[in-house]
Every structure is written in structure tokens, then in C-alpha cells.
Structure 1
Amino acid sequence: MYASHDAFRRDLARLADAVAEGRAGTPAVRTGWQNFQHQLHVHHTAEDAGLWPRVRERVAGRPRELALLDAMEDEHSRIDPLLAAVDTALADRAPELGDLVRALTATLDDHLKHEEDDALPLIQDVLTDADWGAFIGRIRETQGVRGAAVFVPWVVDGAPPADRARFLGSMPPPVRVLNRLFWQAGYRRKGLWAHG
């Protein structure tokens, strides 16, 4: 979760840089933005369908925790219109693109911080290893092997060495081998966010 959150923040910083540098309309930026939207959609869909309902079952009768879960779902619903607005402004090369990217960045960062500070500790407190495994399994099922071939190198793209090692160390050995031998190179060839 934390590694994915870092990757979302990194990509929005890359988008903001591209807008500021006047290269938001390049194919590399468009491809990077499309991947960002896909990864965020998979992440939030898995949370909404497979994570929050499990947590909700475990905290039934606990109003404060239930209110936190309601807030998580509400925050997701506030992000979607901003994604659509940025997407439209990017396609139209609209002058308000920079402002929309800043609004999306602030809204998503507030949500991610809220999730990290309050929801993830609750998740760790109430979910079993089997619950957590079911959630991870849902993401893997949604991504499939093709999705994993982008997701794994995307998460570690530009990550500090310790974070990269921690994330890859949490992956099964075959995933690490596939990433090293094939996925990294395929991801680099996509040139997401690349200059020129």
C-alpha cells in the first residue's frame, strides 16, 4: 500500500513537471497519465470492493471506525471528478490544466495521508492475514500477469534503493525474476513520462 501511494505521488509530481515545462501533450506524458489512471483505478476498486467491506465487518458497532470507512469512500468519490477534469484538460491542452493538476495532487495526497495515518493502522489491527491475502489476491487477479508486468516496475520506478528492495523482497521469487529479466526492460521501453 505504501509503495503504491509513493508511486501515485511520484507520477503526479511528474505530471506537474510536464505541465510546467510545456510537454504535457507529448506521447510519453499521455502514456504515463493513462498508466497512472489505470493503477489508481485498480487500487481504489480493490479497496472499495475487497478491503473496506472486510474492515467494515470487523468494526461493526464501532461508530468512529465506521465513520472513518465512510470517509475513505467519500474521498474516493471526490477524486474521480478531478481525474476526469485533468484528463479532459490534458486532451484539450486547456490553460487550467496546471490548476487542475494541483487540485488533484492536493486532494489525492490528503486522501493518501488520511489512509496512511488512520485507515492502514485500523486495517492492520482488525484484518487477519487471510483477509489481507484475499485483498492482495483480488489485486493480482485484476492485474493479471500482463498487469503485473507493468505494476511491479512502475511501483519501483525511481524509488530509493531501500524502498525498492523492500517492495521487491515482498514479492514471490518468480515475480522478482520476471521483473529483473523481462518486466523492467519492457517498462523502460514504454518511456512513461520521458523527456523528448
Structure 2
Amino acid sequence: MTIDFTAMYASHDAFRRDLERLARAVAAGRADAPGVRAGWENFTRQLHIHHTAEDGELWPRVRNRVAGRPRDLALLDEMEAEHSRIDPLLAAVDTALTGRAPELPDLVAALRATLDDHLKHEEDGALPLMQDVLTAADWAAFTGRMRQTQGLRGASVFVPWIVDGAPPADRAAFLNAVPPPVRILNRLLWQGSYRRRGLWAEA
């Protein structure tokens, strides 16, 4: 089986993009703008859903496939440990945003570096391992968990959020990977609703 990781890479790019937007807002002294706060809240929700599905549905299935392979099991331990290091940084940034704390720029920089290191580690190590060992049913269980958690209401934000500001080729690749009804809903309804939310607007 060849797993299509288009949505996984697109999600990673969206996480990186949002933290870049947060860093710009903080540097400009506009981190307390309603749009920035709304963008941050959506970012943390999307990351929580993503990591919870990995921890609960994906990594256990990979573990089952690599039992008795210490090197691969160690990689999965690293994935889970990296998740646990990200959570306190999310909480610290959230607290600093609320209180306009002076350490906010340093906390955002630490979160960006930690999350980017994790995403790159996952892309370079865990995704090739998944491609090697997972079955179609394994991958369908993970993506199904994501869809169930998001629901239709969540999907109406997730899909336009993913492609927000994406290069045209990346946007097309992601939208071509989703079912046609989703593309239609996104074009006719979800994109406009998402834009009106003003996520990351600094004014």
C-alpha cells in the first residue's frame, strides 16, 4: 500500500505558517488583537486534534507493526516524548498572551523551534516508517478518527484553514486529495465563512 501523506504535510505546513504569523504579530506589538487571539485558539485546537489522533490511533498501530524492532520503537518513543514537550510550551504561550507577559517573544520562539524540530523529525523518520509498515486499514482508522473528531462543523474550518495562504500548487494538491463534495462545500460555503472569521487579522 502507498499512503497518501498530502494532508499530513499540508497540516504540518499550516502549523508552521500559523506560528510564523504569531511571531510577526508579537514582534509588531499586536499579539492582543482579536484576530490574532482567534488564530491562536484555532491553531491550538487543530494541533490538539492532530496530536491526540496520533497518540491514540496512529502510534499504537505503528508499534504493533514494529514489535521486536528496538530502533523503530525508540523512534516512536521520541515522537511521543516530543509531543509531551510541546504541551507545556503551548500552555506557557497561552498564559503569556493573556497576560501580555514580557517573555512572550522568547516563548513563541521556543515553541516554533520545538514544534518545527518535531515536525521535521516526523517527516524524515516516522512517515517513511509508516509508509513501510502500515496497512490500508491502519491508515483509514487514523484518518477516520480525525474526521470523527472534527465533524462537519470542524471540517468547515479545517479545510479552508489548511489552504489559507498556501502556494497554488500545494492548495491544489490538498483539495484534489479530498472528496469532491468537500471541495464543493469549501468553494461555495466554507471559504467565505472562514475569511469572515478574520483569523490572524492584526487590526
Mapping of 1:53-68 within 5 angstroms? 53-68=60-75
Q: Which runs of 4+ in 1 moved over 4 A?
A: none
2:25 equivalent to 1:25 = no
AA at the equivalent of 2:112: T
Give the TM-score normalised by the residue count of structure 2.
Answer: 0.96
Report the counterpart of residue 142 of structure 1 in structure 2: 149
Q: Which of the numbers 50, 58, 65 marks the counterpart of 1:43?
A: 50
AA at the equivalent of 1:15: L
- SS of residue paired to 1:183: helix
Structure with more relative contact order (C-alpha pairs < 8 Å, separation 6 or more): 2
Report the counterpart of residue 18 of structure 2 in structure 1: 11
Q: What do the CA deviations read for 1:83-111 (whole angstroms, capped 9, x no partner)?
A: 00000000000010000000000000000
Q: Answer whether contact 2:14 2:162 (CA < 8 A) is retained.
A: yes
The offset of 1:128, in angstroms, is 1.1
Mapping of 1:75-154 within 5 angstroms? 75-154=82-161
Q: What do the CA deviations read for 1:137-159 (whole angstroms, capped 9, x no partner)?
A: 10000000000000000000000
For 2:151 and 2:162, the matched residues in 1 are separated by 16
For 1:153 and 1:130, the matched residues in 2 are separated by 27
Query: Aligned pairs, how many?
Result: 196
The offset of 1:134, in angstroms, is 1.1
- SS of residue paired to 1:56: helix
For 2:191 and 2:134, the matched residues in 1 are separated by 33
Give the TM-score normalised by the residue count of structure 1.
Answer: 0.99
The offset of 1:195, in angstroms, is 2.8
2:173 equivalent to 1:163 = no
AA at the equivalent of 2:173: R
For 1:123 and 1:190, the matched residues in 2 are separated by 36
For 1:123 and 1:74, the matched residues in 2 are separated by 18
The offset of 1:169, in angstroms, is 0.4
Report the counterpart of residue 5 of structure 2 in structure 1: none
Q: Answer whether contact 2:34 2:202 (CA < 8 A) is retained.
A: no
Gaps of 5+ in 1: none
Q: Answer whether contact 2:23 2:105 (CA < 8 A) is retained.
A: yes
For 2:69 and 2:61, the matched residues in 1 are separated by 14
Gaps of 5+ in 2: 1-7
For 2:136 and 2:193, the matched residues in 1 are separated by 33
2:52 equivalent to 1:52 = no
Report the counterpart of residue 193 of structure 2 in structure 1: 186
The offset of 1:133, in angstroms, is 1.1
